[in-house]
Amino acid sequence: MKIRRSDLEKIHAQAREEYPAECCGILTAPDVVAPSQVHRCRNIQDELHTKDPEQYPRESKIAYFIDPQELFQVVSGAEKSGGLVTGFYHSHIDCDAYFSDEDKERAMAWDEPAYPDAVYVVVAVYGDEVRMTRAFGWDEARRDFIDVEIDIVD
């Protein structure tokens, strides 16, 4: 995954700003070789939890849910302009950047990745400090998400 340093810094800033809630967003690009662009999204996990705690038992400190309207706008906007969704990002609060079972479940639809070419960036944030950033992509041979390199460009 290729991303501009300034866009990665935007993700890190959002993670610090929204702490102690998980931040989230979408990455798009005009084509497969261009660096990804950041689209900051609203985490509505707390709203869902308040309305239906049985269906949404987790709060935003340990979960995220991208606002569906924002998801639709970003995805359709990218597609209309001939671009594509290159990934998604979110933060983990006071713990390492890893692709959790919950993250895997949310990235899948009927045992297949919903966005098979997308990269999932996870940022570990502790208070006002980002300690780690990792990315995960689908490996068809392993049928699992694996660590992938983040190519930071200036």
The confidence score (pLDDT) of residue 129 equals: 97
CATH code assigned at 6: 3.40.140.10
Looking only at the bridges linking them, the beta strands covering 151-153 and 24-29 are: unpaired
Residue 53 is given by DSSP the state T
The confidence score (pLDDT) of residue 32 equals: 86
CA distance 23 to 11: 8
Is this prediction's pTM over 0.85?
yes
Per the structure, the count of domains in the chain is: 1
The confidence score (pLDDT) of residue 33 equals: 87
Integer-rounded Cα radius of gyration of the chain: 15
pLDDT mean values, one per 10 residues, the chain (154 residues): 95 98 97 92 98 97 97 96 96 97 93 94 97 97 96 93
The confidence score (pLDDT) of residue 1 equals: 86
Burial (Cβ within 10 Å: 0-12, 13-18, ≥19) of residue 70: middle
Beta bridge partner(s), residue 91: 123
* Domain enclosing residue 26, as ranges: 2-136+143-153
